[in-house]
Structure 1
Amino acid sequence: MHGPAMSDWLLMTLCGVTGAYCLLRMRSGTEEERRTARAEAVMGFGMAAMAAPAAVFPPPVWGWAVYVVLFGGAALRALWFARRKGHHLHHLVGSLAMVYMALAMAPGSSAAAHSVPGAHRGHQMAQVSSGVPLLTGMLLVYYAAYVLRSGTRLIPVAATGPAEGPTGGGWGARPELALACRLTMGIAMFAMLLTL
């Protein structure tokens, strides 16, 4: 386990642990918090599955279609709930980014990307000077900004959390851990987009 394989294992483990913590968060909080935790658990486990080292866990040929359907459905769900709560717009971007990555990493990806209406636009757009497709570059900028914003929000929460005492409800009700999970998934998404 050296080089890229090690980073695949670490990314898979990190996303899997984050997804598991999101499942724990589903046991407490308001309905909106539980809904958000469910969406984040799906994203965490999906990212873990997508990051699994292909040499050890070769994905089935139809596996990428499952990702497209799963995260396409998650995108529609996030779009539906985004009318009430703005954070679901982030889930929408994340789900669409997962669809994009699944199409880009699928066997015969250029044919797969052109077969889905609207998905080929990212491939046909102008490319930035490094050869990175414009859509990938835009997603990288979005996730870099998201990670920086989440990181700055985590610092004050972590600094004031212990002074307030336990919040009750156990590990699932800790807002700083939920924010750390979002930060972790943002970093993981950024890392996955870099591989495209």
Structure 2
Amino acid sequence: MHVPAQVGWLLAGVCALAGALCLARARQAVRAGARQAGRRPAEAAAAEAVMGFAMALMAIPGGVLPDAAHVAVFGALALWALTLGLRGAPHQFHHLIEAAAMAWLMLPLGSGHGGGPPAVAGALLAYFCARAVLGGVRLLPAPAGRPGSGTAEVAEACRLMLTVAMCAMVLG
């Protein structure tokens, strides 16, 4: 990424925090033995945790892993999201786009990272900005008489953090 080191470290911290929260959700789902109509909330939360940690590694200034390793990790995450989505896990279409976008950002196209067509970057930026706004709206207080679910709100907050980080990474 082509961002100042302070921004890279901030993104790494936000993504690592989101990964840790998703990992805690996965552990909670495993302990509760959660399984709803073929959905696997623990596996979906674990996939989100891996995505958060992988994004954190990518955001660290100077790079921790070679670009090819990042592409492989995000490619595997895209396949995992596709598999979970086909098995009925919610929010996997978003994670599929997120993982594919991260892999795309790491491909050395043209003159460097993300050097592909500006239209692709513009489309990704539009998608992630719209998704961030939608995620923020979902976190607004619930109307009276409809209590919120603490776990669902934490999950949406994790997704929102990673989506906002995606906006910054696509811009970077």
The normalised TM-score by structure 1 is: 0.72
Counterparts of 1:112 and 1:186, CA distance in 2: 23
Task: Give the deviation of 1:137 after TM superposition.
Answer: 0.7
> Could you list the runs of 5+ residues in structure 2 that have no partner in the other structure?
none
Distance 1:183 1:112 in 2: 28
Superimposed CA distance per residue, residues 158-187 of structure 1 (whole angstroms, 9 cap, x where no aligned partner): x779x959x7xxxxx622111111101100
Question: Could you tell me which of 84, 88, 91 is aligned with 2:92?
Answer: 88
* Matching residue's letter, 2:73: L
Q: Secondary structure of the residue that 1:89 maps to in structure 2? A: helix
Taking the aligned partners of 1:160 and 1:69, their CA distance within structure 2 comes to 46
Aligned: 1:191 with 2:168: yes
Q: What's the secondary structure of 1:43's corresponding residue?
A: helix
Secondary structure at the counterpart of residue 27 of structure 2? coil
Residue in structure 2 matched with residue 22 of structure 1 by the alignment: 22
Alignment of 1:1-196 (within 5 A): 4-29=4-29, 30-31=34-35, 32-54=40-62, 58-59=63-64, 63-85=66-88, 86-104=90-108, 109-110=109-110, 123=116, 133-157=118-142, 164=147, 174-195=151-172
Alignment TM-score, normalising by the size of structure 2:
0.81
Over the aligned positions, Cα root-mean-square deviation in angstroms equals 2.8
- CA distance in 2: counterparts of 1:160 and 1:48, whole angstroms: 37
Secondary structure of 1:189's counterpart equals helix
Q: Distance in 2 between matches of 1:9 and 1:160?
A: 39
The whole-number CA distance in structure 1 between the counterparts of 2:55 and 2:167 is 11
Aligned-residue offset at 1:84: 3.4
- Compute the displacement of 1:136 (Å): 0.8
Distance 1:64 1:160, change over 3 A: farther
Identity %: 40
Quote the offset at 1:4 in angstroms: 1.9
Query: Rg larger in 1 or in 2?
Result: 1
Conserved 8 A contact 2:47-2:80: no
> Structure 1 residues 110 and 78 mapped into 2: Cα distance closer, same or farther (>3 Å)?
same
State the alpha-carbon separation in 1 of the partners of residues 112 and 61 from structure 2. Answer: 22
Q: Secondary structure at the match of 2:101?
A: helix
Please say if residues 16 and 53 of structure 2, whose CA atoms lie closer than 8 Å, have aligned partners that are also in contact: yes
SS in 2 for 1:180: helix
Aligned residue pairs total 161
Amino acid in structure 2 at the alignment position of 1:134:
A
